[in-house]
Structure 1
Amino acid sequence: MGSLCGLVLVLMWTLGVNGKDVSSLISRSMFEKLLKHRNDDICPARGFYTYEAFINAAKSFRAFGTSGNRDTRKREIAAFLAQTSHETTGLPDGPYAWGYCFKEEQNPTDYCVPDPEWPCVPNKNYHGRGPIQISYNFNYGPAGKAIRSNLLKNPSLVASNPTISFKTALWFWMTPQSLKPSSHDVITGVWKPSAADSAAGRVPGYGVVTNIINGIECGIGSTPGGEGRIGFYKRYCSIFGISPGKNLDCYSQKPFGG
């Protein structure tokens, strides 16, 4: 019976608690309402970030948006879209409605660092691309392995294939990073702070997600970046009809590893 229970738990994690994908919580019309300006002429990524690509990519990460109760599942989708909207916003945040305007980093530099496991391919650039603006060879490599696409050799796929683009962002969201929990575990309430986390001010809530994604914004009080991430999140939670929860900022948190 023990092994059977273990198998059931694995299947629940793989398929999601309710066996459904995120389309049961976010319809096409809601997606358009959340990201309403992404296809405007002013946005370089217009036409790229489609609802179909988002839903198809999410099917490769079945625990995304399917873990916990209904409000928790909605909160995770809102948090993911908020963080990625801030990463790709096309104008100063304003009404927090200009997310997903860019698919590539503006004015990129060389993001290749020596790494024996994920060596850079000559003449390839690993600058920020996609919803999470994935960058560096040590992220492109494992992300590509996870989604079964050689992104070290073909990093441009993240800016040319919308499903792959969303998959890289979801991989980063679902995967614990060095010294950091996954954003998924934080926003769904699975992560519990250690004694070191508590001493560093890292408490459960959306603020820790920001700390995971861009810790340099944390521990220095209010910043435009931090305010932008929170602004998007509050707007999206309002559209979903849910509370954003507590501890939305990381202003008093030390970055992970700091």
Structure 2
Amino acid sequence: MSRQRIIAFLAALAAVIGLAILVPMASTASAATCASPWSSSAVYTGGMAASYNSHNWSAKWWTQGETPGVADVWADQGGCGGSSGGTGGTTGGTGSCSYPAWAAGHAYVTGDIVRYTDGNYYIAEHDNPGYDPTISTWYWDPYSCTGGTTGGGSGGTTPPGNGSFVVSEAQFNQMFPSRNSFYTYNGLTAALSAYPGFATTGSDTVKKQEAAAFLANVSHETGGLVYIVEQNTANYPHYCDTSQSYGCPAGQSAYYGRGPIQLSWNFNYKAAGDALGIDLLHNPNLVQTDPAVAWKTGLWYWDTQSGPGTMTPHNAMVNGAGFGETIRSINGSIECNGGNPAQVQSRVNAYQSFTSILGVPAGSNLSC
């Protein structure tokens, strides 16, 4: 074989070997690249992508603050690896931060900095036993990798200020002309930071409808924001479920209805307190002495509890199920399906009045 033919043969062989090596390498890189990490403060519309817990997710419709894998607004697009170059992520977030991942139940002290599951960083403002940084804003603040808190920047939960709430103070006073002075407008707006998706989700009409729906149910529960505590004192001893391992440390009769949503039972005080980073199990009176805490417990139920219904009141309003489903989630087992039509109508009347004050239609599916 001539020298030229040997060189050509070797070149061809090298090309074949190189191709054989390249093909398997390409097949092992088939994992999808992760989209930009999901952020609890970001707004997503239908079709937008975000990554969370090493999966890509696609928004089915408008959403903000609803966690992929928990809220059904997100469609799982499968596992992913690597980064699309977006900010945050589970591998380090923005800038040069390198802090440990937050762990639920782990004790933190003031000054500790953690990386949350949304890829953003938070600094402990007060000692806490591992409260969720995106919910317990008393204990945590968003933290910038360049140092210092972000004040609710791109990675944090930006709390609406008084001027951004869809209900003005004048409208609030119009809704509740005889309210107890305990139920302050400032207390309500201060509580909004606990659940930043409340009355900020969807179109301007939907935002106002949700605010009206919440306030209408609150009005019904409290006689127009008149009552702070449950009036039937004979019920007080009944709200202690002794089957719970933690019992009723504040006393057998300590967990009666309080606040705008009339929070009751020891297990609800514990659950609300755990979510908000406040020890309500041992200090239930905070709900009747601190206006912001009182409003936060109402928002806790509204945004996270489905009660006797099939969805949270928040989801009922932002996903178009209608005001009637909020009644079902709050007291449906007693009032809905003909249980107490007069009570249902009372709630509907308040809702229609409040939507009128806010200048939006009441929508459909008003009753349950």
Q: TM-score range by the shorter chain?
A: 0.7 to 0.9
2:365 to 247, 250, 255: 247
1:5 is aligned to 2:146: no
1:225 is aligned to 2:225: no
- After TM superposition, the score normalised by the length of structure 2 is 0.56
Q: CA 1:221 to 1:47, structure 2 compared with 1: closer, same or farther past 3 Å?
A: closer
1:214 is aligned to 2:331: yes
Q: CA 1:142 to 1:36, structure 2 compared with 1: closer, same or farther past 3 Å?
A: same
Find the aligned partners of 1:2 and 1:128 in 2 and give their Cα distance.
50
Q: Root-mean-square deviation (CA), in Å?
A: 2.4
1:157 is aligned to 2:286: yes
Q: Which has the higher contact order (CA 8 A, sep 6+)?
A: 1
1:85 is aligned to 2:213: no
Q: In the alignment, which residue of structure 1 is the partner of 2:274?
A: 145
Instruction: Report % sequence identity.
Output: 35
Q: CA deviation at 1:176?
A: 3.1
Q: Check whether the contact 1:217–1:226 (CA below 8 A) recurs between aligned residues.
A: yes
Where has structure 1 moved over 4 Å in runs of 4 or more? 1-4
Q: CA 1:122 to 1:144, structure 2 compared with 1: closer, same or farther past 3 Å?
A: closer
* 1:1-56 Cα distance to aligned partner (Å, 9 max, x none): 9644342466443489x967274222111111111211xxxxxxx21011110001
Q: In the alignment, which residue of structure 2 is the partner of 1:53?
A: 187
Find the aligned partners of 2:183 and 2:325 in 1 and give their Cα distance.
26
The residue type equivalent to 2:322 in the other structure is G
* 1:58-81 Cα distance to aligned partner (Å, 9 max, x none): 121100010001000000000000
Q: CA 1:2 to 1:146, structure 2 compared with 1: closer, same or farther past 3 Å?
A: farther
Q: Which aligned pairs between 1:1-258 and structure 2 lie closer than 5 A?
A: 3-8=34-39, 11-12=42-43, 13-14=64-65, 21=160, 23=162, 24=164, 25-38=166-179, 46-89=180-223, 99-108=224-233, 109=235, 110=237, 111-116=239-244, 118-123=246-251, 124-177=253-306, 180-189=310-319, 204-215=321-332, 216-220=334-338, 223-250=341-368
Find the aligned partners of 1:21 and 1:74 in 2 and give their Cα distance.
14
Relative to its length, the structure with more strand (as a share) is: 2
Relative to its length, the structure with more helix (as a share) is: 1
* 1:178-227 Cα distance to aligned partner (Å, 9 max, x none): 6631110011117xxxxxxxxxxxxx211111011001101116622111
Instruction: Specify every segment of 5 or more residues in structure 1 that has no aligned partner in the other structure, as ranges.
Output: 39-45, 90-98, 191-203, 251-258
Q: Check whether the contact 1:126–1:136 (CA below 8 A) recurs between aligned residues.
A: yes
Q: Check whether the contact 1:22–1:66 (CA below 8 A) recurs between aligned residues.
A: no
Secondary structure of the equivalent of 1:138?
helix
* 1:89-118 Cα distance to aligned partner (Å, 9 max, x none): 1xxxxxxxxx10001000131201134355
**Matched residues, number:** 220
Find the aligned partners of 1:74 and 1:240 in 2 and give their Cα distance.
7
Q: Check whether the contact 1:121–1:152 (CA below 8 A) recurs between aligned residues.
A: yes
The residue type equivalent to 1:241 in the other structure is G
- After TM superposition, the score normalised by the length of structure 1 is 0.78
Q: CA 1:2 to 1:100, structure 2 compared with 1: closer, same or farther past 3 Å?
A: farther
* 1:113-142 Cα distance to aligned partner (Å, 9 max, x none): 134355211525111100000111111101
Q: Check whether the contact 1:20–1:66 (CA below 8 A) recurs between aligned residues.
A: no
**Which has the higher mean CA deviation after the structures are superposed, 71-80 or 144-153?**
144-153
| Larger gyration radius, structure 1 or structure 2 | 2
Q: CA 1:137 to 1:73, structure 2 compared with 1: closer, same or farther past 3 Å?
A: same
Q: Check whether the contact 2:160–2:192 (CA below 8 A) recurs between aligned residues.
A: yes
Secondary structure of the equivalent of 2:282?
coil
Find the aligned partners of 2:161 and 2:361 in 1 and give their Cα distance.
19
